[in-house]
A and B are shown apart, each in its own frame.
Chain A
Amino acid sequence: MTARLAADNLTLIRGERCLFEGLDFALNDGELLLLEGRNGCGKTSLMRAIAGMLSLETGQVLWNGVPVLKQRQTFHGELVWLAHRTGLKGDLNMVENLHFEESLRPQSGRDREAVYARLGIERLKRLPLRSLSAGQQRRVALARMLLADVPLWLMDEPFTNLDREGRKLVMELAEEHLAAGGLCVMAAHQDVEIGAPVTKIHMQ
């Protein structure tokens, strides 16, 4: 059986530095891939490579056994990416930002108000994002993730700027997503405890 998400012999060289070489992994429904390593070791680059945004020196990333670069649009319809920069517009408010996202990606049809309430952002709907704190903005980015109907979550340092409850909430959400048969790739430089099968990649 082919893995849902697999990498085959990935090598990436940036400038003079080899960020990773001969990297393999395979990930199936309900599994978490954890990328560990210090700052600047190439976690984000690997994540961009998985998303099909970087050209690799060797190797390829496969989704359902097909290289992602050959089915970019299909693959992108099945993932959502929580990046380091949130990708939300500071001049627009939360609803306008999320409304834009709705027009691009299939939506899960979850009750929006319930999602907002769970993330603790239900009172911030009419404020421009610029006036929110960094942690609140990250919660809006999480709302985008929850409202999308996709199996694969790419989470790059999801705990940045979040308070203790926020970090706990992220873990709960990831756990629920995995329990429902989703996949998750997470880059983190802190310990992650989760009740799901975890594959770890420690990057040098």
Chain B
Amino acid sequence: MSEHQPQQPGIFSGLWATARRDLLLAWKRPGDVLNPLFFFAMVCTLFPLAIGPSAEQLEFIGPGVLWVAALLSTLLSLNSLFLGDFEDGSLDQLLVSPQPLPVLALGKTLAHWLTSGLPLVLVSPILAMTYRMPGSVVPVMMLTLLLGTISLSLLGSIGAALTVGLHRGTALLSLLILPLAMPVLLLGANTVSLAAGNDIYTTGIWALGAYAVASLSLAPYATAAALRISNE
């Protein structure tokens, strides 16, 4: 049996398989996807109701509120990233699979972003209307959210992996992630504010892009290491 070398599936087959399976699971349990999205929509619509309809005020706080709501809703959805797999034993199966763990973790994070980050970006223009955001600023806001949520999903996967063995690790997860997520929030909200004030905002976009690329290249390894530690 030792001479026989079976055909190993390639790296990308592991990446797509994990992403596909998680998307399929999300499709079968739409509630898990919709909850964070509802949260995002609720926070964004409650602010104008509480503050009052003054256009000036709303325009001023709009970018900040949208960004804070996006950050919190991402944190809310991160907790479940590895929890289901941990509970039914499929995380153990991933850990003993011949595929590189960072790639599998990336697959899971990709599915998480597609089901939490991307829908958030897509509904944001509707919510931006409640803040009287000018039409020219909306694409900028969507772009910052697009790049920002990619970073948040990736950074969040590290925290989710570290806290997966702990019961009720949500508070700890938020604490771990917030310092890393702060630059994303500041850059995102300020870039949108600058765009709304007709200032030069491209620096912010580049910085967010750089942050996303850095997270993409480093986070999967950290997540894989964290998964191994928390599953000992």
Contacts and interface: CB of A to CB of B under 8 A. Distances in A.
B1 A55 contact: no
A77 B8 contact: yes
Interface in B98-138: 98-100
A89 B2 contact: no
Size class of A's contact patch? 35 or more
B28 A53 contact: no
Contacts of A83: 89, 92-93
B8 A91 contact: no
A64 B20 CA distance: 35
Given A54-B232, A91-B28, A104-B14, A81 B96 contact: yes
A133 interface: no
A81 B95 CA distance: 11
A157 interface: no
Interface residues of B, number: 33
A89 B9 contact: no
A86 interface: yes
Nearest to B86: A85
Interface centre among B6, B95, B231 (most CB of A within 10 A): B6
A161 to B, nearest CB: 14
Nearest to A84: B89
Nearest to B6: A106
B130 to A, nearest CB: 35
A57 B120 CA distance: 47
Contacts of B1: 29, 151, 180-182
A79 interface: yes
A86 B17 contact: no
Interface in A114-171: 128, 149-151
Nearest to B17: A103
A199 B88 CA distance: 31
Contacts of B90: 87-89
A64 B2 CA distance: 9
B232 A106 contact: no
A64 B9 CA distance: 22
A85 B21 CA distance: 18
A87 B28 contact: no
B7 interface: yes
Contacts of A4: 2
27 contacts: A53-B92, A53-B95, A53-B228, A53-B232, A77-B6, A77-B98, A81-B93, A84-B89, A85-B87, A87-B88, A87-B93, A89-B21, A89-B90, A90-B88, A91-B29, A92-B21, A100-B18, A100-B20, A102-B9, A103-B13, A104-B9, A104-B13, A104-B98, A104-B99, A106-B8, A150-B6, A151-B2
Interface of B: 1-2, 6-9, 13-14, 16-18, 20-21, 24-25, 28-29, 87-93, 95-100, 228, 231-232
Minimum-distance CB pairs A-B, first 5: A85-B89, A77-B98, A103-B17, A106-B6, A87-B93
